[in-house]
Amino acid sequence: MTAREELIQAALRLARRSGFGALSVRGVAREAGIGATTLRHYFPSQVDLHRAVTTELITSILGDLEIDDDAKDPAARLYDCLEQFLPEPGHESSSRSNWFDLYCTALAPDAPLGLRNVLHAAHEASTAAVHRWLSTLAGQGHVAEEDVDDQAAYVLAMINGLHLCAAVEPQRYDLPREQRLLRWYVHKLLEN
């Protein structure tokens, strides 16, 4: 593991233990047992640190699963990938809900401004994953290549909407309903 990767792992430990608000240059340097100047060698700004840590987190959460397996139903493969975004009820204990927790934390009224950078980086990493999945299906002839960018934007808008509803009214969050909406959307996307 490189020194940069070790620093990212230290930052992830800190975020898991103390929340994403703890992702400051000084906090991560302290967690890693190094000076802030050394950390800045690898991450010149806090935005760079947030982007690297968040990209690593999202990449570890959003697996490609079986998206490449053209022997399986393309709608089922895409649905399985997208379902990783949905928090489970009682989401605190679910590793796949880190994206949702990040979303809620960054949008909280008392959230530090730096967390907006984290959410932006999470959105970029999520966009890359969704784009990769849709590009795989386009390469197999299930999605028009020219529609991949727009479809990725539509998918993420829907996921963000589902997260917003769950964040605003967590007591009304209904995972089976969210799964039905997601399945419906995936089937409509692949019908065209």
Kindly report, residue by residue over 89-139, the tens digit of the pLDDT: 654 444 455 667 777 777 778 777 777 777 888 889 899 999 999 999 999
How much is the pLDDT for 95? 47
Residue type, 162: L
Which CATH number does 3-44 carry?
1.10.10.60
Q: H helices of the chain, where?
A: 3-18, 25-32, 36-42, 46-61, 74-83, 98-107, 114-139, 148-168, 175-191
Residue ranges, comma separated, of all CATH 1.10.357 domains in the chain are 63-191
Render pLDDT for 127-180 as a digit per residue (tens, 0 to 9): 999 999 999 999 999 999 999 999 999 999 998 888 887 877 888 888 899 999
How much is the pLDDT for 42? 95
How much is the pLDDT for 79? 97
Domain covering 63-191: architecture = Orthogonal Bundle (1.10)
What whole-number distance in Å separates Cα of residue 82 and Cα of residue 144? 19
What confidence tier does 2 reach under pLDDT thresholds 50, 70, 90? very high
